[in-house]
Structure 1
Amino acid sequence: MSPRAALARIRLNPHSRAVQRDLRDAADMHRTLMRLVPDHLGDSPRQAAGLLYRLDETDTTSTLLVQATTLDPARLPDGYGHSDVKDLTPMFNALKKGLAVRYRIVVNPAKTERLPLDQKGQRGKRIPLTGPEADQWWTRRATEAGLELRTLLPTPVAAAQPRAKGTPPMRHHLVRYDGTATVTDPDALTDAVLTGIGRAKSYGAGLLSLGPAGTV
């Protein structure tokens, strides 16, 4: 049985106050997008819904890609943007070993700080990775996800900052990768598309987009 997932492409209305608010604050964006999935999903609703998203921006447009098991764009705020929804089943069915694909993903490359022995049992802080270290992180995670990378092009992303009243803004270091790859494990790749890759999934990271080689 093929996995279930839908992808909404939302061309944002730059004049919408709700859009302007969400582009300033990633926590508000997350709350808005959670309106698209069913209610009462338990203690981990984003994970239960399989909700992932990415903001793709050009000089003239901002487009949200939102993926989940089920999506209802009619629940977006009025005037938020124009939406198209497609079923991802045909894409999953097309994934075969040896298939050449193009990919796009925004990720949060990071490692955990190593602590001295006298702090054994404690967790070190997360350290953002940049440059070649970030590229190596993505290459390793792509391999685990069933992709053999052929090319990769990193682009730093100015991430929206989740804010809470009375606290300083928290930043997530995000990098977008575009490139080509070959499918090595269709099952692992399907799982990676459904569940996302890496951390900061509530803030626009982890959504892996795939297309035939030669397309964007």
Structure 2
Amino acid sequence: MYLTRFRINTARVTARRLLASPQNLHAAVMSGFADAPDPERDGARVLWRLDTSSDRAQTHLYIVSPAPPDLTHLVEQAGWPTTAPQGWKTYDYAPLLTRLAKGDRWRFRLTANPVHTARRNDDEPTKLTAHVGRHHQKKWLLDRQQAAGFQIVEKPLAQRALPDGDEHELLLHNRRQLSFSRGRPAKTVSLVTLTYDGLLEVTDPQAFRHTLTNGLGRAKAYGCGLITLAPA
């Protein structure tokens, strides 16, 4: 497995077009592989996520993949082809995955599509609906943590700012409502994404490795599901 970071030149018109459409950016990411990765064959899939710095000065594309990508086309479209022709860095992800152990604590970031099935009355079929309230958005992640091989660390009582709803080392931010076209004839896709930052503890290393290499939740083709780690 490999982890790749690519800095996007947001001043370029073609870069802004990619950033405006998760469908186009997904196609650009997948074009970085001569042979399309197969999750059944490789045991993992291609995951990607966009991160923007707090001052909006830098936007990075992160990719986790079974094979290293060639992002030459992205450098030409959305990078600095003259001054930084090798505009990305790829790291071997296997050493980190291998050394994961129960009890390890990591800072993490996840951009996800927190949804649930709902219907207005018994006569209607259920449909996917985005969680709106912070309580339900937080619960969406907490409900999946055990099967995903980790748990969100709880704060000491003295560090909780609120009597209820502030139990975990977890920050929810950057909620986005996305709308873009897909396929021919064009079909409009609407998507709500949310970024989670927090502190987790590994409870099942094997399950957690699967989560890191296969993603969490829905809309993985559109920049959701990738968990990245940093030392706690």
Relative to the length of structure 2, the TM-score reads 0.79
1:197 counterpart = 2:216? yes
- State which structure, 1 or 2, has the greater radius of gyration over its C-alpha atoms: 2
Count the aligned residue pairs: 204
**Please, which runs of 5 or more residues in structure 2 have no aligned partner?**
80-86, 154-168
Is 1:172 aligned with 2:191? Answer: yes
> Post-superposition shift, 1:41?
5.6
Residues 31, 49 of structure 1: alpha-carbon distance in 2 compared, 3 angstrom cutoff: farther
Residues 74, 179 of structure 1: alpha-carbon distance in 2 compared, 3 angstrom cutoff:
same
Change in Cα spacing, 1:117 to 1:20, as seen in structure 2 (3 Å) is closer
Distance 1:139 1:177, change over 3 A: same
CA distance in 1, matches of 2:119, 2:203: 32
Match status 1:99 vs 2:118: no
1:32 alignment counterpart: 28
Query: What is the distance in 2 between the residues matched to 1:49 and 1:159?
Result: 28
Q: Which amino acid aligns with 1:158?
A: R
Task: Establish whether residue 66 from structure 1 lines up as the match of residue 63 from structure 2.
Answer: yes
Deviates more, 1:157-166 or 1:193-202: 157-166
**TM-aligned CA distance change 1:189 to 1:55, over 3 Å:** same
In structure 2, distance between residues paired with 1:168 and 1:76:
25
The residue identity in structure 1 corresponding to 2:65 is A
Structure 1 runs not aligned, ≥5 long: none
Given that residues 10 and 65 in structure 1 are in contact (C-alpha distance below 8 angstroms), is that contact kept between their aligned partners in structure 2? yes
Q: Secondary structure at the match of 2:189?
A: coil
The one-letter code of the counterpart of 1:74 is: T
RMSD: 2.5
Larger strand share, 1 or 2: 2
- What TM-score results when the alignment is normalised by the length of structure 1? 0.84
Q: How much has 1:210 moved relative to structure 2?
A: 1.5
C-alpha deviations, 1:48-95, integer Å up to 9, x for none? 871111100121011000111112223435152321100101110221
1:134 is paired with a residue whose SS is: helix
The one-letter code of the counterpart of 2:174 is P
1:144–1:188 CA contact under 8 A, matched in 2: yes
- Could you tell me the percent identity over the aligned residues? 28
Counterparts of 1:132 and 1:27 in 2: how far apart (Å)?
29
Local SS of the residue matching 1:199: coil
Q: Does 1:183 align with 2:192?
A: no
